[in-house]
Amino acid sequence: MPRTRSLAWSELKIGVISIVAIVIAVVTIFLLTGGSGFWWQRYSLKSRFTNVAGLNPGSPVRLAGVEIGSVTEVQLVGEQVDVVFEVKEDFQPQITTGSMARLGSVSLLGESAVDISPSASGTPIPEWGYVPQGKAAAALSDITDQAGQGISELTALITDIRGGRGTVGKLMTDEQLYAELNRFVGVAGDLTQGIKDGKGTLGKLVSDPKTADTLNATLANIETMTKSLNAGEGSLGKLLKDEAFATSLTSATTNLDTLVGKLNRGEGTVGKLMTDPALFNQLNSMTAKLDQLVTQLNAGEGTAGQLLKDKRLYENINNVVGDMRTLIANINKDPRKYLNIRVSIF
């Protein structure tokens, strides 16, 4: 029977060194992968974008700026792009339906990354679930386009100004407008100087302390009056504060509204005058007759008219009245002379 050879220490030492080297290599690879954990400590998620802007497998995945995984696959699905990435299971409670995924940048060179916003308000997204897409950050190309558009608009503006278009262009090219503006600036300077010197009402208000004191006193009086109104003093204050006064005013308004309603319905004399055409016609006819009578009197027609217009008739009547007054006076002086009464008995 063959004899079994025992392992020498030198041979066993080589195997131990090989195992240690493998362990060191595994640990080194684990450290170089950014601490993403072993494969059994990670789970896969997806997100769909309209444009991944150069995102490649191996690009980092960050949660609130902290790297928690990496992109494993980028595939085109119709007109959109599905991005598959692996993250640590420890962060699953923070990646929920309330989280948003958007494309970010690792550096100014344009290297892309997937940024996820943490959210504890939703439910955790299961493995192979989709993280909702958020608003994409402005890319360097977009900023460049906007800058180019701004430069183009600025160039067009400068061209218009040099061509004398618009107010600024006319100001730079039209000498008359420049002269008018210069004249306006001069007038404004003179006005400001006049105000500083105390000329005019505004100047006195600025420089004269009496005017300022008067204005302050007026403002103080207004403040006092406002306080009195708020305290319910005076008629206007009672109108604002006294409920009984307000009730009386409301009642008076109601009565006035009732009166106006009766007038509109033709109730009462005034209401009939406003609404009854027969009464209005009678009043109009009476007014016309009175106007005709006054016209005849002014024309001297009739006895009353002649009395108003005929001077001789007026003087005769005046003389008769005078004679009657003289006769009455004489009778009062000597009644026996004028009143001789005889009594005869048959």
Q: Are 115 and 83 in contact (CB under 8 A)?
A: no
Count H helices, E strands: the chain? 13, 6
Evaluate whether residue 206 is within a structural domain.
yes
The answer to whether residue 212 scores a pLDDT higher than 90 is: no
Maximal CA-CA distance, the chain: 220
Q: State whether 21 and 67 are in the same domain.
A: no
Write the pLDDT tens digit of every residue in 6-43: 555 666 667 777 787 887 876 666 555 544 555 567 88
Q: Per the structure, how many domains does the chain have?
A: 3
The answer to whether residue 139 scores a pLDDT higher than 60 is: no
Q: State whether 17 and 52 are in the same domain.
A: no
Q: State whether 11 and 29 are in the same domain.
A: yes
Evaluate whether residue 291 is within a structural domain.
no
Evaluate whether residue 157 is within a structural domain.
no
pLDDT category at 141 given cuts 50, 70, 90 is: low
Q: State whether 47 and 133 are in the same domain.
A: yes
Write the pLDDT tens digit of every residue in 66-114: 889 889 999 988 889 999 999 988 888 889 988 999 888 776 556 788 9
Give residue 234's region: left, alpha or beta (phi > 0; psi -120 to 50).
left
Evaluate whether residue 125 is within a structural domain.
yes
86, β-bridge pairs: 44, 70
Mode of pairing for the β-strands spanning 80-88 and 42-49: antiparallel
The answer to whether residue 1 scores a pLDDT higher than 50 is: no
Evaluate whether residue 169 is within a structural domain.
no
Mode of pairing for the β-strands spanning 66-77 and 80-88: antiparallel
User: Edge-to-edge, what's the strand order for the sheet holding 60-63?
Assistant: 42-49, 80-88, 66-77, 60-63, 112-116, 101-105
Q: State whether 50 and 128 are in the same domain.
A: yes
CA dist 345 and 133 (Å) reads: 149
Write the pLDDT tens digit of every residue in 148-198: 788 888 888 788 777 777 777 776 677 777 778 788 888 888 788 777 777
Q: What is the pLDDT of residue 295?
A: 81
At 228, the amino acid letter reads S
pLDDT category at 344 given cuts 50, 70, 90 is: low
CA angle, 227 as apex, 222 and 232 as ends, to 5°? Answer: 125
For the segment 120-137, the average pLDDT, to the nearest whole number, is 84
Evaluate whether residue 265 is within a structural domain.
no
Boundary residue ending a domain (104, 137, 170):
137
Record the pTM.
0.35
Residue 130, Cα to own-chain centre: how many angstroms? 43
CA dist 114 and 103 (Å) reads: 5
Evaluate whether residue 168 is within a structural domain.
no
Evaluate whether residue 75 is within a structural domain.
yes
Residue with the bigger pLDDT between 325 and 204: it is 325
Lowest mean pLDDT among 218-227, 249-258, 306-315: 306-315
Q: What is the pLDDT of residue 180?
A: 80
> What sign does the dihedral 136-141-144-150 (CA atoms) show?
negative
Range of the domain at 205: 196-228
Q: State whether 28 and 106 are in the same domain.
A: no
Residue 250, Cα to own-chain centre: how many angstroms? 34
